[in-house]
Chain A
Amino acid sequence: MRCRFGDTETHFGVLVLIQVMGMAQELHVLAVDDSLVDRKVIERLLKISCCKVTAVESGRRALQYLGLDGEKSSMGIDGLKVNLILTDYSMPGMTGYELLKKIKESSALSKIPVVIMSSEKILPRIDRCLEEGAEEFLLKPVKLSDVKRLRDFILRGEGDDDKLTDKKIKEACSRKRKFQDDSTTQVTAHDIESSPESSASSESQQQKQSKIG
């Protein structure tokens, strides 16, 4: 019997969908910040927004990871293409601005969007970064809404030919989170059937179900 609490049953099908499609479409973000606390927070913000994260502590490490001193490729060391670089501005050694410049000067990496984060709202600094090609300037502490907005922006740019899949991923991701949050979902045992049929339901049935729910 189909679950009457619309969203819950949808989640089963959607979770399967994530596993199948999510792996091919997840954004890979390279986060650069010298603060351990900030790295931990940004990592979590990105993971919760369904991004794969590689977090490094300096501009030098970032360039190493991107293979700028070696091969010319936008692949990270682990072979995964980097879709976005999110870097702090104030870092010892190489600032986020200097990192931005090096990336934009590189033919292999210049297409990767770079976003700068800073705890200080210094207008000339912001202007300089945007002029140098930064996609955006985020004020710290970075919020979940900032990350989600970034992710959507990057997703729109990547794989324009596969918009439907991207939309599915986003919807799946936000429903998946809601499902995890709704630990007190009021569903009785007889309403849920975790049989293969109900968990791999077709998309049209899912949509129909969401409308009822």
Chain B
Amino acid sequence: MEVVQLQRSFVEYMDSLFREGFLDAQFSQLQQLQDDSNPDFVVEVVSLFFEDSERLLNDLTMALDQPNVDFKQVDAHVHQLKGSSSSVGAQRVKNCCIPFRNCCEEQNTEACLRCLQQIKQEYLLVKNKLQTLFDLEQQIVAAGGAIPMVQ
């Protein structure tokens, strides 16, 4: 595919991710921290986010599966997930964490399980979207083009 076409798709895709609330301004901030000396910075941070999140989601599943749920522990995990999703600009994941923490405070296992389900869905969505974005970037670079800066 032509470079210009790829670049256009990239910009449109990025725009949609912001418009639909998958990403927020923090993601743009990360992009601004990327330069020729650190060309893979965003991919690296996001990869760490994926690893971290998957670990936390597993921990949450196990913690909520216990006969006596340790809500402090569950809350601690959610707090961490909120922090890292906030740091990469994964807005919808971050927003799911807020009601989740409320359910922990109320010590409501059923509600927590529903929140967990929701977060897992949002996480998989944003993971998919970001991977698509990175794929597009790779295609642009492979075709000899530069990745457009989207403000």
Contacts and interface: CB of A to CB of B under 8 A. Distances in A.
Interface of A: 35-38, 40-41, 44-45, 48, 90, 92, 119, 140-141, 143-144, 177, 180-181, 183
A7 B42 CA distance: 28
A41 B86 CA distance: 12
A35 B26 contact: no
A144 B83 contact: no
A35 B83 contact: yes
A181 B146 CA distance: 13
B123 to A, nearest CB: 14
B29 interface: yes
A141 B33 contact: no
Pick the most buried of A37, A40, A45, A119: most chain B CB atoms within 10 A of its CB.
A37
B84 interface: yes
Contacts of B30: 41
A81 to B, nearest CB: 25
Interface in B118-151: 146
Give the bracket for the number of chain B residues in contact with chain A.
20 to 34
B44 interface: yes
Contacts of B86: 119, 140-141
A165 B123 CA distance: 48
A71 B65 CA distance: 47
Interface of B: 26, 29-30, 32-33, 35-38, 41, 44-45, 48-49, 52, 76, 79-80, 82-84, 86-89, 146
Contacts of B80: 35
Contact of A119 (B32, B33, B44, B82): B82
A180 B37 contact: yes
A162 to B, nearest CB: 27
Contact of B41 (A36, A44, A92): A44
Nearest to B85: A37
A144 B29 contact: yes
B45 A35 contact: no
Contact of A41 (B37, B45, B79): B45
Contacts of A141: 26, 29, 86-87, 89
A143 B30 CA distance: 9
Given A38-B87, A44-B38, A141-B86, 4 more contacts: A35-B52, A141-B89, A180-B35, A183-B36
B33 A44 contact: yes
Given A40-B44, A44-B38, A119-B82, A35 B33 contact: no
Given A37-B48, A37-B49, A119 B35 contact: no
B24 to A, nearest CB: 10
A45 B33 contact: yes
Contacts of B26: 141
Contacts of A36: 48, 52
Given A44-B38, A141-B26, A38 B83 contact: yes
